[in-house]
Structure 1
């Protein structure tokens, strides 16, 4: 993580902290936010002076382009506090690169590296008390960019707002889920914006997911838009399949998000001596593996939950249950990854960055 301040950050502290009103033992993910937020506006072709201000609502013109043409990208990160009270980020360079990659795809200006890292560091220092120690506790960090220029002409905006807001989070566990393999709907298409963390990608997922819920499934495994023959992602997460003792996952592409948790789990699996096969994964081969018993595990991978195990999946009217594994890859990899994030183990990959 780099930090080379070229522009001072204007900091306005909150008069009083809200932290005393928060029940940290009963948090709902993403509903409570810290005392401060980072804001920087793009006007007249350049990013203006970055600021940290008290967390507060925004005032935007009703014709702001974000509302009409969907120029909005975001990231998901976490800060962790170890037993000594030290704070760490996990692979923040990857988040910075990806939000700029997403922005470029939506014709939005890239954000300066020093603004991002210096702003994030100062924000975390100000709201450090919101980062609670304890395995599973964290501070969820949401950087995002929106088009703010007023006017409804159909073109990219020339004014934007870059922000970072933070939300305290507990250990994320909602139980093993059942998923429905998509036969009609797709998350993204060739040449589209599937690889970008664009707001519209997620809006388009809600309707098919709600249909799946009516059938008794919590999430959807998305298939390719061309043939619906290949598995791509699970809900809002990358997806892995364990067939016997080999781990399968689809390669990244312009349809599939380059997940930071995904690439970290691949590296951990290889370090643990697990065979990893990154290739297109056919629905038919997973169904066949479920039938002959060689399909041992399916799990999603992402920042919020780290790993979300799948207990069953549905396809073409059939339901396939997975037998619970005593020494699951999902459990092994999640523990290994979180031990690095919480400074409980060595970090051979140099992923951990101290604030």
Structure 2
């Protein structure tokens, strides 16, 4: 009854502490991919085609559509109008740029450099005669792209520890690679099983799970036990966002929810609570976190505390065509 009374017009709002996990939101790969689309529209004019969602966030996609980006699932949806096509941050199978070359299409590759690193390492292991065990989620664009770097049959997908216990790869040397956006702890569990079964399993030169995924999960772990609820801002089809929700609950938070943006969050979810946490997946812009905080302020007297576990200063180069100076206009004769 007191909680309801506090929400009457003019009544004082109940206090609510909000812990803001840091780092959160955009990573360097996502920031680069979005800039590639924006600069391509600026340089080549609209429309610029993008194969697959550039990143898994509808707010970002709709913002780019408003600027002139046209999103397609496959290249055959794109007319031969000379306009460029951009490959998403998740990476694509080798067959996609080959098909673009066959049509003499101008294409720009927005694949995250850390995903490209996984591609190159998988190729290196394959060249050295190893069969690849890829830890990841079936059907995710990044997994499709990584498997598509090698011939059919060269990669076996392992989704969890249960599959790791039963997978039967072909005889011979084995190496592993992982999707970059997995749960750090779940992946360690899968690897423990695989290494016990295949002691000669070769590892990547450097860990495949990317710095941004690792940092965001560490930040959630840092606040989980202090929170009664954690709100993860991100899309349901965003692997790293879904993992953040799972990590929050495994790390000791009683409940975690995934919301695309502030308008999708009911602040009544926090009724009766004293401390909640907020984080955001690597493809969710900070403005969507601010939306959630604004919704909470409608109902509560909110105080915020930043809990930052790492500073991120990584910046990736743009593709060469977008780094080159724009050609000067030809003088009229």
Q: What's the TM-score, normalizing by structure 1? A: 0.27
Which structure features the higher share of strand residues?
1
Structure with greater Cα Rg: 2
Q: Which has the higher contact order (CA 8 A, sep 6+)?
A: 2
Which structure features the higher share of helix residues?
2
